[in-house]
Amino acid sequence: MAMARQALAATAVTTGNVAPLAASSSSRFPRLQLVTPILSHELGRCRLATRSSATSYFGTAPQNRGTTNVTTNAVATKEASASSATTTGGHELLLFEALREGLEEELDRDPTVCVIGEDVGHYGGSYKVTKGFAEKFGDWRLLDTPICENSFTGMAIGAAMTGLRPVIEGMNMGFLLLAYNQIANNCGMLHYTSGGQFTIPVVIRGPGGVGRQLGAEHSQRLESYFQSVPGLQMVACSTPYNAKGLMKAAIRSENPVILFEHVLLYNLKEKIPDEEYTCCLEEAELVRPGEDITILTYSRMRYHVTQAAKTLVNKGYDPEIIDIRSLKPFDMYTIGQSVKKTHRVLIVEECMRTGGIGASLRAAIMENFFDDLDAPIGCLSSQDVPTPYAGPLEELTVVQPLQIVAAVEQLCSRE
């Protein structure tokens, strides 16, 4: 790695600290395109995390507001602010292309940024996030490794200690369990255990979540594994806009950051600004303002929630939807402001129920905003079982829009 460091130093035009985070762009691009219809969205100031279970029981849903069939063509959009009008200009990108653009901009901007992982070089990454980078930046900055997650993660952490800013790509997030010791005992703690002598500006990223019949070992959701490790910061992207913004902010951070990407969102399309921007790593996003109930979600479940919101609006409910984005730490200010307004909370996530993000979030809300609640906190998450390979069984383990509709109806019926 010393040779790599020397090669990078030789190409550096300037040295010094990485520039501070740029302010997020004020432009808003609310139109998203996915296979199924979803709501328009807008970026606002909000964050939160969630954890619960699809097997949570809320009793029989009230019947006085009609059936619980999910409406797919209703208009449920309610703009978060006056600035959410569609802006001219910008360019459309798929989510994986937005990640690529953000990473490329940082590689151009800072010669100490490098990428380490399996097939990240000439192959371009398993999901083509680094396509063409080896030819542009060279083999020293796009370092292909053998299948040895523990080794190359440790190597990247050592490189960060000497002044580089490595981006570690896990071909699948589940594979990073092989590097758990490096991530937990070294990446998260070395700044403290070295008495502040070292910073570890590492980004750990890659695809995860329940895909399309990828099997149990390729459907891992590791948020719950890493949330208790001191020193780690965790964010989850859900749109091309915040994917690029969070990627750039994570690379510039002096802290080790885990960026969770959902494998089923890579082909999500959105128009993003032409000008440079970053997204704050500690803020959530207000997807839809509302008055009746706060729904906290993140990653893929954002789109299950917005799909359910169409039906809820037709039934007369006004849900507020917050994409948590920052899984650690929680944006308790944004969460608190919403709870104080709606007095009801539903957490929706794809992770398993036991010991997860939603469990931690529910505890934090109970501790800080108990007197503002008019009903118990509802939680929906995947079942505590290995993800089945069979498609119908796989779908049964993950929260579906109908369950979200029923849960909101039950919570809003409580006095």
Q: Active-site positions?
A: 149, 218
Tokens standing for residue 252? 């510039």
On the 0-12 / 13-18 / 19+ scale of CB atoms within 10 A, 108 is exposed
Residue 142 φ then ψ, to 5°: -120, 85
CB 39 within 8 A of CB 306: yes
Place of tokens 């010791």: 181
SS3 258: strand
CB 83 within 8 A of CB 26: yes
Q: Tell me which residue of 268, 216, 262, 223 sits closest to 51, measured CA to CA.
A: 223
Q: What is the DSSP letter of 265?
A: G
Q: Tell me which residue of 212, 216, 210 sits closest to 301, measured CA to CA.
A: 210
Q: Tell me the H-state helices in 162-300.
A: 180-181, 190-193, 223-226, 240-252
**Separation between Cα atoms, residue 57 and residue 410, nearest integer Å:** 10
Q: Which residues contact 15 (CB under 8 A, 6 or more apart)?
A: none
Q: Tell me which residue of 220, 222, 271 sits closest to 244, measured CA to CA.
A: 271
C-alpha angle 118/124/128, rounded to 5°? 105
What are the start-end ranges of the E strands in 240-339?
A: 257-262, 269-272, 285-288, 293-297, 319-323, 326-328
**Separation between Cα atoms, residue 38 and residue 268, nearest integer Å:** 11
Q: Tell me which residue of 379, 292, 323, 329 sits closest to 46, measured CA to CA.
A: 323
How is the beta sheet containing 319-323 ordered, strand by strand? 285-288, 319-323, 293-297, 345-352, 378-382
Number of Cα atoms under 13 Å in the Cβ half of residue 191: 15
**Separation between Cα atoms, residue 329 and residue 398, nearest integer Å:** 25
CB 18 within 8 A of CB 293: no
Q: What is the DSSP letter of 185?
A: I
